[in-house]
C-alpha cells in the first residue's frame, strides 16, 4: 500500500507542478501570526522539508481559496472580473 502524502509533500508537489512567476505582495498580519509563521519556516527550512516563508503562506492561501470556492461558488474557481480592482485601505468598521 502506498504511503499517504504528508502536507509538506503535497506543498512541494504543487510548487513543483506550477512554476509560475512570483510577484511581491504586501499584506498586514497580526504580529503573533507573523511570528508563528516565521518560527515554522525556521523549523522547516532545513532538510528534509526545505519550506520557505513564501511556500507556507502560498499553501495557506491556496487552501483558503479552495474552501471559499466550495462554500460560495459550488467548488468552482471564481471568474476573473476584467478591469476590476480592490479598494485600497482598511475595511470600514
Write out pLDDT tens, residues 29-79: 999 999 999 999 999 998 888 899 999 999 999 999 999 999 999 999 999
Residue 37, pLDDT score: 95
3 state SS of 9: helix
For 15, counting Cβ atoms within 10 Å of its Cβ (0-12 exposed, 13-18 middle, 19+ buried), the class is: middle
- 79 within a domain of the structure (yes/no): no
Residue 41 near residue 56 (C-beta atoms within 8 A): yes
Let me know if residue 77 belongs to a domain. no
54 is a domain residue: yes
Is 55 a domain residue? yes
User: Residue 39 belongs to what domain range?
Assistant: 7-13+29-72
Other CB atoms within 10 Å distance of the CB of residue 76: 9
Predicted TM-score (pTM) of this structure: 0.68
Q: Which residue has the cell 462554500?
A: 71
75 Cβ contact list (under 8 Å, min separation 6): 69
| Local structure of residue 74 (DSSP, 8 states) | T
In a domain, 85, yes or no: no
Q: Please check whether residue 22 lies inside any domain of the structure.
A: no
- Per the structure, the count of domains in the chain is 1
The answer to whether residue 58 is domain-embedded is: yes
Amino acid at each position: 500500500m502506498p504511503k499517504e502524502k504528508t502536507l509538506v509533500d503535497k506543498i512541494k508537489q504543487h510548487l513543483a507542478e506550477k512554476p509560475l512567476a512570483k510577484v511581491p505582495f504586501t499584506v498586514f498580519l497580526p504580529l503573533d501570526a507573523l511570528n508563528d509563521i516565521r518560527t515554522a519556516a525556521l523549523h522547516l527550512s532545513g532538510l528534509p522539508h526545505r519550506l520557505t516563508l513564501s511556500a507556507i503562506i502560498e499553501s495557506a492561501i491556496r487552501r483558503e481559496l479552495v474552501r471559499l470556492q466550495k462554500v460560495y461558488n459550488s467548488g468552482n474557481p471564481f471568474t476573473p472580473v476584467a478591469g476590476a480592482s480592490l479598494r485600497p485601505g482598511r475595511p470600514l468598521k
